[in-house]
Amino acid sequence: MKRALLSLLLPFALTPLTAQRAVDLSINTLALRYENSLTGAAEVSILPRVGIVLGVAYQGDPFDFSGNDLNGRRIRIIPEVRYYPFATENGNVTLETYLGAYGKHVLIDNRTEAGDWGNRRSKNVIGGVVGGKLLFWGKLLVEGNVGMGRIIDPVTQEFPLPLGFQIVNRSTFDLRLNFSVGYRFGSVLGRVKAKNK
């Protein structure tokens, strides 16, 4: 696991922030509202049309915004690679669309019947995603995507989630929904194909 994480972080370390590179930092507001999780992501453009993303999410005690008494907590590590086939600019607004593949490693820690932590499990997911970004003035971004993955080693028990997520998590499939806001550091030259005045 440590080697896999190091190999995912390597492109971030080797990619300099120059005029042709960009780093997008974002927070998933949809996950915060409906899944009660703190979810952030960083994307580095390694080529004009290719980006590598590393997302991290935390859900459960002590950051429970739902008012429910959750009996568990989990951490998700979500690496992703994206290809941007289409981007267009219109004044101060740029639209970038992408196709991607993602993986997800979920560490789950539930309370035991005695109320102690220690009932730990994990699961892994691989899947695909499609989405887009609206970039305002080359810096402020709004992003949305949807994806579907396959749980390759499903767990037998989950702590309470909203109904829509419970249905998916009880199957061997993983539904991914994302609506994020963020900021771009640097710029990506060569991604925009056409300019509309």
- 12 vs 28: CA distance, rounded Å: 21
Question: Count of domains in the chain?
Answer: 1
73 inside domain: yes
- The pTM assigned to this predicted structure is 0.74
**Mean pLDDT, all residues of the chain:** 76
| Model confidence pLDDT, tens digit, residues 62-74 | 555 555 555 667 8
CATH of the domain at 51: 2.40.160.20
196 inside domain: no
197 inside domain: no
In DSSP terms, which residues pair with 146 in a beta bridge?
Answer: 130, 177
| Model confidence pLDDT, tens digit, residues 97-123 | 999 999 999 887 766 565 565 667 788
pLDDT at 16 over 70: no
Yes or no: say if 160 and 169 are a contact pair by the CB < 8 Å rule.
no
The SS3 call for residue 166 is helix
Q: Which domain holds residue 36?
A: 2-188
Burial class of residue 188 (count of CB atoms within 10 Å of its CB; 0-12, 13-18, 19+):
buried
